[in-house]
Structure 1
């Protein structure tokens, strides 16, 4: 167990510096489960992209990606059935599944998101993009919520909203880099409205129009961040603190993209170490105020936000 915990801590520190800092705020047991789940998510994502901890993208054929996806599905199925694995990321997943009763459905919904990447799916409408955001990030929010002890469906929706907000921010930040490797998560309808050919996104002549679309994504993400803030009130305060810290750090990335105008992609938008520390401190105040209020999340409607039907926490008996 100690080896798996150390492996998971190493993975999160190298795979996501922002989330790693926020995860330090969880209590020890929660942090261990959170980092183990992250290690599995990171591993699966890397396998599909041919990367190592999010770096060093390889050129893989469609056939290779599909074959890799099938192997991930098979190994995940073995874990759900209670079998062991020699792959550290899957061994860590097994621990989380046993401890928190994570349902097979959510594990495979995440893999469905990676399948959209593996099969080079196109996103025609905003609904298509939000569907993708749910499968690669929103469903992670569902599983994280279960680790944190959430049992009511309304709060689970708020956790999903945070994952979607994170992914919308990522899309806005990485839209040019993604296109360089043949990926575009912006709705094609949006591109048509701005007369931006999908295959020309990376060209400088389209930067002004592209920045306008990125700003629309950032504004959309703001709605999901606001919803997620309401859900914090139902979390234990240490969990709320970690979540608030992560929210504030990731939100800063989107705000940087929005304020950078057409130069947004001249360099990768990042949050400095000093700013991260400040946001984590600020997150403590946000969390304390949220938990003190204990707002009834059901009284604040999620009007207009994308919702995956049937999402709920399945409590282990």
Structure 2
């Protein structure tokens, strides 16, 4: 939680078994690199889509044991060579990687989401594949584990959407469903003003929008949280920290008056101590009403 590029991707921490850290680093490098193709630099949409298509072709080449495309740079060729070794060593499914590329292509093409199903479809390809890959590394493919992993990853991403409303707006995107804005009488023109001149207190209808979205994120995290208490050892502890990290971001959003424009909720060193205490000492969090 809280890394700069691909916030919901679990970077290989000391809590992960040493045998898994290189694989996680390679998967992170792929996700971060593809995300950068969609987001970073001054390239236009067509060039971004062409670069992402090059990565899709490279991934397809790995699947069919064909030579990598000549269009790849030296650094990209090394990335895909190591990724191929990781896929082979751990017998990882490749569809989640294709799903990630699909989501990043969508980021280039689409900047608004009409309703909840449209946003969840995006999360299904942009966040949930990460959890499914991690489950394969952990050696579990149980359907219940997959469902709870999906809920956890979607919850983390939706918490990030609430946290980064202003940052996403600067990229020309909004991950708040348009029907949610309409339901509370909020307008995109107001969002631009809030980002440009963050107020000390956001208007009540925008508080309602962000409260609703944070509640959706919180309920998804809670729905997925049993997985973190069911998986054993250091892997379970890592996931418990992730769950509590996402919930803590939402707590800080609420404490800041649902005002991520002036008070973007981020986790600091004091939060890290709190999260460790919660992960080690507290039982699984239970659904309760979120503060309004």
Fold-level similarity (TM above 0.5): yes
TM-score using structure 2 length? 0.82
Q: Unaligned 5+ residue runs, structure 1?
A: 1-11, 51-57, 291-317
Runs of 4+ in 1 over 6 A off after TM superposition: 16-22
Relative to structure 1, the CA distance from residue 187 to residue 17 in structure 2 (aligned partners, 3 Å threshold; closer, same or farther) is closer
Question: What residue number does 1:125 align with?
Answer: 115
Find the aligned partners of 1:179 and 1:202 in 2 and give their Cα distance. 7
Paired positions, count: 270
1:141 CA drift (Å) = 0.9
Which residue, out of 39, 44, 49, partners 1:61? 44
Find the aligned partners of 2:8 and 2:103 in 1 and give their Cα distance. 22
1:65 CA drift (Å) = 2.0
Find the aligned partners of 1:138 and 1:200 in 2 and give their Cα distance. 31
Relative to structure 1, the CA distance from residue 62 to residue 224 in structure 2 (aligned partners, 3 Å threshold; closer, same or farther) is same
1:115 partnered with 2:105:
yes
Instruction: Check the 8 A contact 2:35/2:104 in 1, yes or no.
Output: yes
Instruction: Check the 8 A contact 2:229/2:236 in 1, yes or no.
Output: yes
Find the aligned partners of 1:246 and 1:17 in 2 and give their Cα distance. 11
Question: What residue number does 2:83 align with?
Answer: 93
Relative to structure 1, the CA distance from residue 211 to residue 13 in structure 2 (aligned partners, 3 Å threshold; closer, same or farther) is closer
Instruction: Check the 8 A contact 1:80/1:97 in 2, yes or no.
Output: no
Relative to structure 1, the CA distance from residue 156 to residue 277 in structure 2 (aligned partners, 3 Å threshold; closer, same or farther) is same
TM-score using structure 1 length? 0.76
Question: What residue number does 2:217 align with?
Answer: 221
1:175 CA drift (Å) = 1.1
Q: Deviation string for 1:92-148 (max 9, x for gaps)?
A: 322321122222321111111111101124310111111111211112111111111
SS for the counterpart of 2:163 is helix
Relative to structure 1, the CA distance from residue 217 to residue 15 in structure 2 (aligned partners, 3 Å threshold; closer, same or farther) is same
Question: What residue number does 1:235 align with?
Answer: 231
1:149 partnered with 2:143:
no
Instruction: Check the 8 A contact 1:109/1:135 in 2, yes or no.
Output: yes
Find the aligned partners of 2:164 and 2:245 in 1 and give their Cα distance. 16
1:253 partnered with 2:249:
yes
SS for the counterpart of 1:202 is helix
Q: Unaligned 5+ residue runs, structure 2?
A: 69-73, 285-292
